[in-house]
Amino acid sequence: MVYFGYRILVPEPNISDIPDLETPSGTPVRPVSFTVADTDTPLLNLSFSASSADPLLIPVQNIVFGGSGAHRTLSIIPTQGRVGTAKITVTVSDGVFSSKDSFLLTVGLAPPSAATAPRQSAIVEGDYATLTLGAAQRLQELYASTQFPT
């Protein structure tokens, strides 16, 4: 009995999974690493493209590829002042075949700065508290509207 072995070549390029990402509005996503492979095309001959399901949030021109060989990076800059979630699709092509990977990029509100963040404080009996003018006026209104027993 004679066995003939054969190897199945996958003609399309392969791209690793890119995880879902999050970033504050207007803050560039740090470069995300991914890998590519192709059995019949030199890696330097592969081409890369990307699409955004929400081009107002993530303009395609703000998606930049880097790296070389099998090790590639993706940098993304969301539009300043916009929030939301966009599906980003990355395509790698050898000129004949292509492969895609999609992920979600969630752009959220920027965390408050130290100057605007609310401060937590506790007042202990015997301490003095400083009230803002708005808080003092609200307390005065509350006091004025309260009916005390006579």
Mind listing the pLDDT tens digit for each residue in 82-124? 999 999 999 999 999 999 999 999 999 866 554 444 444 444 4
Q: Which H or E run includes 139? A: helix 133-145
Question: Does some domain include residue 48?
Answer: yes
Residue 118 lies in a domain: no
Q: Which of 50, 42, 41, 43 is CA-nearest to residue 97?
A: 41
Provide the residue range defining the domain that includes 55. 14-107
- Assigned domain for 134 exists: no
User: Cα 63 vs. chain centroid, distance in angstroms?
Assistant: 12
33 in any annotated domain:
yes
Residue 87's SS3 state is strand
pLDDT tens for residues 28-46? Answer: 998 999 999 999 999 999 9
Within a domain: 89: yes
Q: What is the CATH number of the domain that holds 43?
A: 2.60.40.10
- The domain total for the chain is 1
pTM (2 decimals)?
0.68
What local confidence, expressed as pLDDT, does residue 149 receive?
52
62-76: pLDDT as tens digits: 999 999 999 999 999
**Predicted pLDDT at 26:** 77
Residue 15, both tokens = 């791209």
DSSP tag of 115: T
